[in-house]
Amino acid sequence: MSLLEIHNVCKNFKIGNESVSVLNDLTLTVNKGELVCLLGVSGCGKTTFLRLISGLEKQTSGTILINGTQYKIRNRTVNMVFQEPRLFPWLSVQDNIIFGLKRNDHSKAKNLKVTEIINKLGLSPYIHEMPYKLSGGIAQRVALARAIVTEPELLLLDEPFSSLDSITKNSIMEDLLDLWKSANMTIIHVTHNLDEAIMLAQKIIVLKYRNNSTECFDIMNLSYPRNPESDYFKELKSKVFNSY
Partner 1 sequence: MLKQVKIRLQGVILPLAIILIWQLVSNYGMVNSYILPSPHHIYFRCIQLIENGSLQQNILASLIRVVIGFLTALLLSIPLGIILGLNQRVKLLLNPILSFFQQIPGIALIPIFILWLGIDETSKIAIIVYSAIFPILLNTINGIETTDKNLIEVAIINGISKVGLAYRVYLPSMLPSLFVGMRLGLSYCWRSLVAVELLGASKGLGYLIQQGRELAQPETMFLGVFIIGLIGMSFDNVSKGFEKKIIRFKSNDYKED
Ligand X SMILES: Nc1ncnc2c1ncn2[C@@H]1O[C@H](COP(=O)(O)OP(=O)(O)OP(=O)(O)O)[C@@H](O)[C@H]1O
Cβ atoms within 10 A of the Cβ of 226, count?
17
State which of residues 110, 113, 192, 208 lies at the interface with a second copy (CB under 8 A): 192
CB of 132 to ligand X, least distance (A): 6
Cβ atoms within 10 A of the Cβ of 212, count?
13
State which of residues 80, 172, 173, 187 lies at the interface with partner 1 (CB under 8 A): 80
* Helix, strand or coil, per DSSP, at residue 77: coil
* Helix, strand or coil, per DSSP, at residue 223: coil
Which range binds ligand X by CB under 6 A, 110-118, 132-140, 177-185, 234-242?
132-140
The verdict on 33 binding ligand X (CB under 6 A) reads no
The residues facing 77 across adjacent strands are: none
The verdict on 117 binding a second copy (CB under 8 A) reads no
Binding mask 67-86 for Mg ion (x = CB under 5 A): ----------------x---
Q: What residues contact residue 94 under an 8 Å CB cut-off, 6+ apart?
A: 118, 127, 128
Binding mask 177-216 for ligand X (x = CB under 6 A): ----------------------------------------
The verdict on 47 binding Mg ion (CB under 5 A) reads yes
> Looking at this protein, which amino acid is placed at residue 219?
I
Which range binds partner 1 by CB under 8 A, 19-27, 49-57, 108-116, 208-216?
49-57
The verdict on 135 binding Mg ion (CB under 5 A) reads yes
**Interstrand relation of 78-81 and 154-158 (parallel, antiparallel or unpaired):** parallel
Q: Residues of 69-94 as b/e, b for ≥16 C-beta within 10 angstroms?
A: eebeeeeebbbbbbbebebeeeebbb
CA–CA separation, 145 and 181 (whole Å): 17
Q: Which of 82/233 has CB closer to partner 1?
A: 82
The verdict on 194 binding a second copy (CB under 8 A) reads yes
CA–CA separation, 130 and 72 (whole Å): 32
CA–CA separation, 244 and 226 (whole Å): 23
Please give the residues from 53 up to 92 whose contact with ligand X meets the rule CB under 6 A: 83
Binding mask 82-121 for partner 1 (x = CB under 8 A): x-x-x-xxx--------xx-x-------------------
Which range binds partner 1 by CB under 8 A, 79-87, 117-125, 183-191, 198-206?
79-87
The residues facing 10 across adjacent strands are: 61
Which range binds a second copy by CB under 8 A, 10-18, 49-57, 72-80, 103-111?
10-18
